[in-house]
A and B are shown apart, each in its own frame.
Chain A
Amino acid sequence: MEGPLYEVFVRSRRGLNHVHVGSLHAADDATAVRHARDVYTRRNEGVSVWVVRADAITASSPDEKDAFFAPSGDKVYRHPTFYDVPDDVPHM
């Protein structure tokens, strides 16, 4: 049997977030961690691995992407560049 699908996240070094690198199949959580090491960190790519069962992830829907993220689209005033501060004002 191939087991459930796991998504794999690797921290490449201390101080950085775990980043999604791909997925794999494993019989259980512990095996998934071992497999993740073998599949994704054979060349010292990581100092820490997370695995999470893919069916435990709730995601936004690609079809609704536009509507879902629309609320931040028209709020230009959330960006510092929106504000007129003369160039000769230092440290800003």
Chain B
Amino acid sequence: MSAHPARLTPAVALGLHPNGRGRPWGCLRRLVGVATALPEHVTRVTLIPDRSVRNGVVRMSATLETFEEVIARHERVEPRDAMPERYRATLVRQIAQHAHSEIIGMQPEGHWITRAPSLRRKAILLAKVQDEAGHGLYLYSAAETLGVTRADLTQRLLSGAQKYSSIFNYPTLSYADVGTIGWLVDGAAICNQVPLCRTSYGPYGRAMIRICKEESFHQRQGFELLMTMMAGTDEQRAMVQESVDRFWWPALMMFGPPDADSPNTAQSMAWGIKRDTNDDLRQKFVDMTVPQARRLGVTLPDPELRWNDERGHHDFGEPDWAELKAVISGDGPCNAQRLAHRQRAHDDGAWVRAAAASYAARSEQEES
């Protein structure tokens, strides 16, 4: 071995830090120096393990001053950059919650795969649920750039320490729900996710771009399914209406509590993690959905819903925030069932993980 790659940050190699040149740890010292002069809320500087470097030594390539500049210029923060611990922790929480939502989100629709009314619908539903799994994986991978592991995040989901979207704690009682979820739930998710493509953390934004491309199929298959049912019998139309009645309010709650009751929003927006407030996104979703509902021929179950010419937006009723709070804290209709199912899937998969590890060990042995 000639050099010690562990002691040479590429930033130094690239000459980005004049102070660090010739002194491998120079920029680290510089960083520590900066850390002492940080605002009060920043308790320590986080160095992010870079997956691109084999030896796994913790590295950094920028100071926190750079972080503030990057945020001010609306540029992207990348895994090697130094970042305030609270920025990192907020991202881990948000990305993990998002990833868990995709994974738990497979259950309500997965419920209907074996009972899809045709081979066509079954293939579509399988593809969609498979996409949700993929989205979960993109997001876990983005979270892992922040120095956490997927296994750890999974444990935190199963222990209840981390949450997932409230919407997946509602049951899917009829096949029309598959269409309604595609139209309303995925529609709301798209409203949420499109601005996240511009979030300040690079890996998260890039995961969101992939996800948004794929969500379009989800929403359209749902709307097409509902249109097909609406062109069917009275019974089918009633089924669609009943499903929309159940999902409308929970879909509005997907955007989170009202702004006045969302203490983290201001900081998240200042950091560019969030680009819009909960209430703004909710309004946008309502405005987009009303004409779609009209075209579909269903009634949205809100007597207060009407166009407000003065505001240029629809007015709508207040969701039941007590219900949202209850569902988030574990008292929704399906919380226990969803987590138990996820735990069971994890346990049932133990032999697959063991078999894969054992096969890998044997292959390695045979090679050497």
Contacts and interface: CB of A to CB of B under 8 A. Distances in A.
20 contacts: A14-B77, A14-B202, A15-B75, A15-B76, A15-B202, A15-B205, A27-B2, A29-B54, A30-B8, A33-B5, A33-B8, A37-B13, A52-B52, A75-B127, A77-B124, A77-B127, A85-B227, A86-B227, A88-B295, A92-B292
Given A14-B70, A77-B123, A50 B3 contact: no
B68 interface: no
Nearest to A15: B76
A80 B205 contact: no
Given A14-B202, A27-B2, A77 B75 contact: no
Contacts of A41: 14
A89 B80 CA distance: 44
Interface stretch (B30-38, B93-101, B214-222, B333-341): B214-222
Interface in B17-43: none
Contacts of B168: none
Contact of A14 (B53, B75, B124, B292): B75
A87 to B, nearest CB: 11
B223 interface: yes
A14 to B, nearest CB: 4
A84 interface: yes
Contact of B292 (A50, A82, A90): A90
Given A11-B78, A15-B205, A86-B295, A30 B3 contact: yes
Contacts of A92: 219-220, 223, 292
A79 to B, nearest CB: 6
A78 interface: yes
B303 interface: no
A85 B131 CA distance: 21
A80 to B, nearest CB: 4
A28 B123 contact: no
B1 interface: yes
A17 to B, nearest CB: 6
Interface string A53-80: 0000000000000000000000101111
Interface of B: 1-5, 8, 10, 13-14, 52-54, 61, 70, 75-78, 80, 120, 123-124, 127, 131, 202, 205-206, 214, 216-217, 219-221, 223-224, 227, 288, 291-292, 295
Contacts of B127: 75, 77-78
Interface residues of A, number: 34
B224 A28 contact: no
Interface of A: 11, 14-18, 27-31, 33-34, 37, 41, 48-50, 52, 75, 77-80, 82-86, 88-92
A91 B13 CA distance: 49
A89 B223 contact: yes
Contacts of A77: 120, 123-124, 127, 217, 221
| Residue from A27, A50, A90 having most chain B Cβ neighbours under 10 A | A90
Given A28-B2, A33-B10, A84 B224 contact: yes
B291 to A, nearest CB: 5
B178 to A, nearest CB: 13
Nearest to A90: B291
A76 B143 CA distance: 31
Given A28-B5, A52-B52, 13 more contacts: A14-B75, A31-B2, A33-B8, A48-B61, A48-B80, A77-B120, A77-B127, A78-B214, A82-B217, A83-B217, A91-B288, A92-B219, A92-B223
B295 A80 contact: no
Contacts of A86: 227, 295
